[in-house]
Chain A
Amino acid sequence: MSFLQPLALIALPLMALPIIIHLINQQRHRTIPWAAMMFLMRAKRMSRGMARLRHLLILLMRVLAIGALIFAISRPLSGGWLGSVGLSKPDATLILLDRSASMEMQDLQAGESKRSTALKRLAQLLEQGDYGTHLLLIDSASGQMQEVDSPKALLNLPMTGASATSANIPSMLETALAYLKANESGRAEIWICSDLNENDWDVHSGRWNAMRQAFAELDGVHHFLLAYTDPPSNNLSVRVENVQRWKRGNDAELILDVMVRTNGNSSGTRRVPIEFEVNNIQSVVEVELDTLGASLQGHRIPIDAKLSSGWGSVSLPGDANPLDNRFFFVFSEPPVRKTVVVSDDKRIGEAFRRALAIPLDPRLQHQADVIPVNRVAEIDWESTGLLIWQGALPSGLVAEQIEHFVNSGRVVMFFPPAQNAGEQLFDAHWSDWQSADGQEVAKVAWWRGDADLLAHVESGDALPLSGLRTYRYRTLESTGTPLARFDDETPLLTRVPTDHGAIYFCSTLPTAQYSSLERDGIVFYIMLQRALTEGCLTLAAAAQRDAGVGVLVDRDQWESVAPAENTASLSQRELHAGVYREGEYWVAVNRSHAEDNAKTSPVETVDALFDGLSYRRIDVDVGDTSALASELWRIFLIAMALALILEAILSLPSRKTEDTPLIDLAVADGSTE
């Protein structure tokens, strides 16, 4: 229990007052000489049990009445959220607010979302108590810390509004930790408001252990988690998995793959209308939902052939979460999927060109150019999606250009030079060639099949990497992540972590004297096509992006196209779903895929993340804006009244019965028989 006036508890020793008065009174009772002591002693013996009990109860009621009054004056709060029963207030209160799309789940009756509910209750609680000198907010969308004037101000800040982003709770806690360490704050309270989405919490990340240890070293830090632990109510979300614009004779059409997911408890099937809007033209398609949802593959929407690019949206009827009922998409003519192969070896260059010139989809246009290293300056970086660099690692301007190329979302694959290794680039450096005079040197012992360039195909079959024969490979010194290894643990394919785009290093060459990549073909082709596909994502005039900070930084003049009611400020736009346009470029910003697959982390797992720390989880219900901590003084006043009433009842004298006269006058006559 917490107290708003803890100083009043100093008066608790007054509870001993009735006992002291009783002891004093015992010494001050009127004294009377008494002759019939034998009867008095017998009476005391007869009434010892009940009388003593009654007397003790009376004393107890008096003590309790005083105690209840003192507690009432101290204004206790239920829960104990405002720190321990002590006299110190926190130096800082940090609020970590999960603003992810799933937090917009609403209670339809109350009209409040999880986010707004949590904010209101927390603001109310902090207004009641003392949040200390600093009130700081870290919101999940920006991940930045901001000082707030007052708890009430929390309700009106743009940083506490809804967003279509995902959250990164470990990062937010790391930000809080960094602040506490830097400012050497004494007592601090960290309030986390979240719906425990698995994707947001990443409970299995190794960061939690390090963070827990770091928090354990700080004194006086208390963690409180306002958690929505209830499973999501029946909610549908819609997503466009894929949209393509194709010409069809003199017409054009959009082909969409739409997924409708069901969250929460639902049974049986039902039909749900999906509304399509393209260039202000609506159409509705009904789909039949099962317990998991529905999938609408290859849905065709005819469009004007002159409309080379544009936007549209897919909508569902309103339900618990309005944020996942609409999905924006943009479309444009597919770009030329261009690859530049930099190699001084014509044979090797040709091998790459052949693999990259053949499109997966005949409707797509591919272009693969092979240029020697000395003509790198001729590269049109803007129109290139994939760069194959087979040569010494560059430095200087070329290295910067490649870095910029990658940061713009493109892909570069490095293959080993025959001779000079070159410089170090992206923390990687070629080492020596390994070979055995034409004999098979190494076989691929392991590769990553769940994702990336060597992932299983759609049917689930693995790529035939086990059959790849490698005669020569060059070792790579890198801190990157291996995607495939030889049996001697040497990486075949390595991916270097990067925020945007992708960087790969392949340790061998495709031609016959190095490996069977070109001859076998399948692995080589698929690997390159996948790299090209990934690299060309940003070539398109239309791009789908997940909401988050920095998604619109690539261009300066993005204009909001949809939704019409988009009133978000420039700084907040990238956090909300919508369509933006700059010239011929379109981008649709939506919530991430993870927000649609929202699974709630088990509370026990979340609790375990705070083992050894001062931690308390408060389960809340969406839409319930009742006070987190309610004052209990009324209860104690009622308790005091009850104690006094009981004391009065127990103190009432026993009712006297009508006794018959004790002296029988007939006997007093002395008459004897």
Chain B
Amino acid sequence: MLQLKRDYLNQKVLERLSTLQLHARLPMVGSVSGKHRSPIRGSSLEFAEYRKYVPGDDTRRLDWRAYARNDRYYIKEFEADTNLRMCLVVDTSGSMDFTDNGNPTGTDGETGLSKLDYARRVAGTLAYIAALQGDAVGLYCAGEAFHIEIPPKRSATHLSVVLDELGTMEASGETGLADILHETAERIPQRALIVVISDLFIEPETVRNCFEHLRFRKHDVAVFHLMEQNELDFEFDRPMRFVDMEGGEPILADPTVIGAQYRRAMEIYLESMDEVIRDTEVDYHRVQIHENYGDVLARFLLGRTPKKYK
């Protein structure tokens, strides 16, 4: 058990979730034997299938019972288990600093969390769980002013680095999520679990392109789409000056006048996102940041558990 010094992590949540396994939905390629399926067939405890004997195969793998039954020679194939590479991609654009009541505190606590704080917790907890089960963890941050690239590795020291970076992340500037995702798709040569934690305030088609790129590279993509209740409901009763948290021009608007149009725009966006999710088959979770992140992660982990273990 690692000594926890990061106050954004919750001991109770970690204890609760550490009993769950982080599984990849897709077979992973790894150099170390681990808990995750590998796409490569090899010796292992798990029987996979029979194939016909060809000269040169290891005769120790001949199945004599099959020969007795069929008078033909068959070789047994077994699943090769390997380790998981998890890359955490955290959006650090200015919009991630949005909190309930729009008051960025940047502090821990059950209330007044910003989306970035929430992302920190989710990413930190996942990193811990992955490290606990011997998987590699990497961190990529997407933001104009804050750019981190920590390739996935397996070691306690590496986890500390990841957790420290998560603790010092700040949200500012415009989003660079699309660029980071495309870069990640290219830079990570082997299959990995790419966990995207963002508010995804970019065009759905851009998101589609990113996910498709990642999926093309055979990566397992999980998305935590963070949203705040006010962003969804847009319930204000007086004209306001809305200041763009990503540095754009402020807008003076009367929510009583444009509220319906705002909610309609949001509805269209979420419908488009649903379509992207369906088409790209990513593991998508739409989360309101007032939800308990422990519950969210529990659902996430349980949802990835293979059926034979349920």
Contacts and interface: CB of A to CB of B under 8 A. Distances in A.
Q: Do A and B bind each other?
A: yes
Interface of A: 25-26, 29-44, 46-47, 51, 54-55, 653-654, 656-657, 659, 662-664, 667-673
Interface string B25-67: 0000000000000000000000000000000000000000000
Interface stretch (B124-132, B176-184, B279-287): B279-287
Interface string B162-174: 0000000000000
Nearest to A51: B257
B259 interface: yes
A664 B286 contact: yes
Interface stretch (B105-113, B142-150, B151-159, B235-243): B235-243
B287 A668 contact: yes
Contacts of B231: 35-36, 39
Interface string B219-261: 0001000011001111011111111111010111110111111
B190 to A, nearest CB: 22
Nearest to A651: B256
A653 B256 contact: yes
A35 B228 contact: yes
B239 A662 contact: no
A43 B243 contact: no
A33 B95 CA distance: 9
Interface string B89-118: 000001111100010100000000001000
Given A654-B256, A662-B266, A32 B286 contact: no
B286 A31 contact: no
Interface residues of B, number: 61
A47 B95 CA distance: 24
Nearest to B114: A35
Interface stretch (B4-12, B73-81, B267-275): B267-275
A40 B284 contact: no
A34 B244 contact: yes
Interface of B: 94-98, 102, 104, 115, 199, 201, 222, 227-228, 231-234, 236-246, 248, 250-254, 256-267, 269-270, 274, 277, 281-288, 299-300, 303
A58 to B, nearest CB: 11
Given A33-B242, A34-B98, A669-B285, 6 more contacts: A29-B240, A35-B97, A36-B201, A43-B259, A653-B237, A657-B260
Contact of A51 (B250, B254, B265): B254
Interface SS of chain A: mixed
A329 to B, nearest CB: 88
A21 B102 CA distance: 28
Contact of A40 (B94, B242, B281, B283): B242
A33 B257 contact: no
B265 A43 contact: yes
Contact of B283 (A25, A657, A670): A670
B239 A29 contact: yes
B95 A35 contact: yes
Contacts of B242: 32-34, 37, 40
Contacts of B241: 29-32
B21 to A, nearest CB: 16
A36 B222 CA distance: 22
Contacts of B300: 670
A37 B234 CA distance: 11
| Top-10 shortest CB links A-B | A35-B95, A35-B98, A43-B262, A43-B261, A34-B242, A42-B265, A46-B261, A653-B256, A670-B285, A668-B286
A40 B253 contact: yes
Contacts of A667: 274, 277, 284, 286
11 contacts: A31-B241, A33-B104, A35-B199, A36-B266, A43-B264, A44-B258, A55-B257, A653-B256, A667-B274, A669-B303, A672-B281
